[in-house]
Copies of this chain bind each other. A is one copy, B any other.
């Protein structure tokens, strides 16, 4: 797509807004490829964004993130909402990596005009979420998605990052998994707004729920007005517990909207996005400075003791 030449940004954004899946897909591809038209695209979409409710779904492989996503897509579609799915989990069938059965089920949704399903091809070079993820969310938002589900695998940093991207974060666990609640201790407790014990028809579901409730009660989110994470049991493959889950998610959304927490999260998210774009731009600029002020040239003078590192940094900043 890099060599695709000029992009008619206005036309593309207009047709994404009118519901063209092709236009949405094209825009996300431009985002992923860091196309030069990206600033123009984002400018054209800015006033259309800020409406979608972004729900993050995370958990270890095997807890049933894909079937839970499928269940939620059906539920929200059943209410007539437009839904976007962004899969940044390399093991997710939405990313094209796993069971055929799930993939076919998702093809059903993908054919439904009210659902955009998109996998992010690449993750960031540090193993976390791709830097393009927040911008892909904006595309889906601008295209009129009222709910966007972001599915990530709960490994390493990405579970923390998805919480940074989402308005509401659901952490999935399954009973009897060695890493179940134990893993939850390692950071997951802090990020979950709603905990989902999926595969709740298996042995041990109730004790996993109890453990979770106990750990939540030990947490320090006890100031008045703070959201207290809820715990829901589901069997996603049979759509059991779906209503309870949707209701718990919605309760979190309403609670944080009313308390101002939702806006704080969104401002914080925007802050990190703007900062990372600004720093990336400065990095580029430092290499391209004219008149001997580029970073490699300044570095030579610093190494030779002609200038100190602080003055060098100033030269690079000033150009």
Contact = CB atoms under 8 A, between A and B. Distances in A.
Contacts of A42: 308-311
B271 A295 contact: yes
Copies of this subunit = 2
B309 A270 contact: yes
Interface residues of A, number: 50
Contact of A45 (B43, B277, B308): B308
B39 A278 contact: no
A275 B270 contact: no
A25 interface: no
A281 B45 contact: no
Given A50-B304, A299-B267, A277 B43 contact: no
A39 B295 CA distance: 18
Contacts of A295: 271, 274-275
Interface in A254-311: 263, 266-271, 273-275, 277-279, 281-283, 286, 295-296, 298-300, 302-311
A14 interface: no
B43 A308 contact: yes
Contacts of A299: 267-268, 270-271, 274
A12 interface: no
Interface in A79-125: none
Contacts of A49: 305
A135 B313 CA distance: 14
Contact of A47 (B47, B269, B300, B305): B305
A75 interface: no
B50 A277 contact: no
A175 interface: no
A292 to B, nearest CB: 13
Contacts of A50: 303-305
Contacts of A269: 303
Nearest to A285: B317
Interface string A18-51: 0000000000000000000011001101111110
Q: Which 9 A-B pairs have the closest CB atoms?
A: A271-B299, A42-B308, A39-B310, A277-B313, A270-B302, A46-B308, A278-B313, A50-B305, A270-B299
Interface of A: 38-39, 42-43, 45-50, 134-135, 138, 263, 266-271, 273-275, 277-279, 281-283, 286, 295-296, 298-300, 302-314, 316-317
16 contacts: A42-B308, A42-B310, A45-B308, A46-B302, A46-B307, A49-B305, A134-B309, A135-B309, A267-B296, A271-B299, A273-B302, A274-B298, A275-B316, A278-B316, A279-B279, A281-B317
